[in-house]
Amino acid sequence: MTRWLRMTGGLLIWAAHFIGLYLMSSAADVWSSSEAAGARWMGLVFSLGCLVAVIAMAVWLGKQQGKGGPEAWERRVGLTGVLVAGVSILWQTVPLAF
């Protein structure tokens, strides 16, 4: 499981972030208004949490340099995935400002 997590961890955080933001905005739409500032602040805090998680993931992968063979390759897949996930999470956070 660790090895699968290594490859997909960043993207899993992206998925959690996306689902979380979508649920927050939908819930805000049902219970108050999607324009509500409270929901946006919650979204922002959540996004920051996810960004921290992505960075933690990158640090964890960065520490595993010693590995060779397939695991080194899996680590590279994971690291680039973390990069794409991080950018996507940042983009996903931008709408909160509009």
The residue type at 47: S
Structure tokens given for 73: 């390759």
- Pick 11 or 51: Cβ nearer another protein: 11
- Taking the complex as a whole, the smallest distance from the CB of residue 80 to another protein amounts, in Å, to 4
Enumerate residues 34-93 that contact another protein by CB under 8 A: 34-35, 40, 68-71, 73-74, 76-78, 80-81, 83-85, 87-88, 91-92
In the chain, what is the straight-line distance between the N-terminal and C-terminal CA atoms, in Å? 39
The closest alpha carbon to 13, from 60, 62, 61, 47, belongs to 47
Distance CA 27, CA 50 (A): 20
Task: List residues binding another protein (CB under 8 A).
Answer: 3, 7-8, 11-12, 14-15, 18, 21-22, 25-26, 29-30, 34-35, 40, 68-71, 73-74, 76-78, 80-81, 83-85, 87-88, 91-92, 94-98
